[in-house]
Amino acid sequence: MKISTFSLQVSVSLMQRRRPLLELQNYRILGRILYYVPHNSPIHPGRVLTTFGFISGIVEALNGWGASYSANQSLTDSEIEIGHALIKTSLLLQVVVAMLFITLAATFHRRCVVAGTTNEQLNKLLWTLYISMTLILARTIYRIVEYFNVAELRYGPGFDPATISPVVRYEWFFYVFEAALMLCNLIMFNVRHPRRYLPRNKKIYLSPDGVTEIEGPGYKDPRRLWQTLIDPFDIQGLVTGRGRETDKFWKTAGGLGRPTDSTNTGAGVKTETV
């Protein structure tokens, strides 16, 4: 069976899109989790997706820039080497971003445990994220090992295929450390979909008692988008106190939530609705 060049390019392109799409999904899910338990959030929940998405965009731009150089055989050897260096940098930065994300999630998780606001729903969500990012991290490490070996290859007269690294030469490495890991990630999110554990409305949050869900005013940030990208932790606001009047709305006297009727949900969480 013959495979056209176009079909091969589409296949490779879609294969490379899986990791960044899964990462963006994880960024959004963690942001929603922080909206759900805002009193333990290390940063503004809305900044998770924008900050990590912005950084990942730069990483992917480096990757694409490097690929355009390394694949263009009409360029000089030094320019092709620049392409290899850009891709290597991109791959290493992917590991850094993944570790920063896991650190943020773990910091939030620890705060929840210390404050006693963990429940079955929250634990399932966070462990799903940990597993997902671990699978992505394992895949990225495989890609680093693979590409660093590919970049060392020099084809020409007298080239011996036996000198190619087994990671590059044998296809089963790809099936195990790329295809299987990403497939497991997709299956896991179909089985443990976050919508099963999070409320539809992001203004509904878990009160500090770890039991009651309340609909409040939501977590707001009056700053411009470019300011949130440069200063996701709002260090300026911490210093000046400006724009942080409603940061801790869950502590406001009189309650900004709207509870009138209570029902019990499956994970032991009491949801208060209007």
More confident residue, 256 or 85: 85
Query: What per-residue confidence (pLDDT) applies to 29?
Result: 94
The string of pLDDT tens digits covering residues 234-252 is: 666 555 555 444 456 666 6
Residue 50 has pLDDT above 90, yes or no: no
Three-state secondary-structure class, residue 61:
helix
Categorize the per-residue pLDDT at 44 as very low, low, confident or very high, splitting at 50, 70 and 90.
confident
More confident residue, 37 or 213: 37
The string of pLDDT tens digits covering residues 191-234 is: 988 888 888 888 888 888 778 888 876 666 666 766 666 666 66
Residue 28 has pLDDT above 50, yes or no: yes
Query: What per-residue confidence (pLDDT) applies to 76?
Result: 83
Residue-range domain boundaries for the chain: 14-199
Residue 2 has pLDDT above 60, yes or no: no
Three-state secondary structure of the chain: CCCCHHHHHHHHHHHHHHHHHHHHHHHHHHHHHHHHCHHHCCCCCHHHHHHHHHHHHHHHHHHHHHHHHHCCCCCCHHHHHHHHHHHHHHHHHHHHHHHHHHHHHHHHHHHHHHHCCCCHHHHHHHHHHHHHHHHHHHHHHHHHHHHHHHCCCCCCCCCCHHHCCHHHHCCHHHHHHHHHHHHHHHHHHHHCCHHHCCCCCCCEEECCCCCEEEECCCCCCCCCHHHHHHCCCCHHHHHHCCCCCCCCHHHCCCCCCCCCEEEECCCCCEEEEC
Query: What per-residue confidence (pLDDT) applies to 191?
Result: 92
Categorize the per-residue pLDDT at 11 as very low, low, confident or very high, splitting at 50, 70 and 90.
low
Q: Any bridge partners for residue 273, and if so which? A: 261
| Residues in the chain, total | 274
Residue 259 has pLDDT above 70, yes or no: no
More confident residue, 88 or 271: 88
Rounded to two decimals, the pTM is 0.79
The string of pLDDT tens digits covering residues 89-114 is: 999 999 999 999 999 999 999 999 99
More confident residue, 133 or 171: 133
